[in-house]
Amino acid sequence: MKFLFTFPSMTAAFSADKWIKDSRELSVQGLPTRIIHLPYCLTGTCQGLGLSVVADVNNIVSLKNKFHENHISFSNIWKETSVEGNYEKFEEAGKAAKK
């Protein structure tokens, strides 16, 4: 699945990407990530860049917890819907809240 972390600043997005790439944390090593421009449907939610991550739900929850442990702030986590480029807010309970 494709997820998107949004951040309070572009610097925070780059810092999170660097932290993942440099991490020795086994739970995040090898996660495919990419800094992307936010899709149009999310442009009003935060700054202009986000961190795209391809992972399963367990890895996303683990990454979210690692971000908290390492004081890496993010605004939201979004899950791509069945329509490419559309996102809905990710909720840990396995449900997603519609934006």
pLDDT band of residue 93 (cuts 50, 70, 90) is low
| DSSP 3-state of 58 | helix
Has residue 90 got a pLDDT over 70? yes
Tell whether the model's pLDDT for residue 77 goes beyond 70. Answer: yes
Residues contacting residue 68 through CB under 8 Å, at least 6 positions apart: none
- Nearest to 79, CA basis, from 30, 43, 37, 42: 42
Cα 28 to its chain centre, rounded Å, is: 12
Give the rounded distance of the alpha carbon of 13 from its chain centre. Answer: 9
Identify the helix (H) or strand (E) that includes residue 51. strand 49-54
* Identity of the residue numbered 66: K
Residue of 27 and 98 predicted with greater confidence: 27
Reported as a single tens digit per residue, the pLDDT across 13-65 is 999 999 988 888 766 777 889 999 888 777 766 568 899 999 999 999 999 99
Distance from C-alpha of 49 to C-alpha of 35, rounded to nearest angstrom:
7
Per-residue pLDDT at 75: 92
pLDDT exceeds 50 at position 99 = no
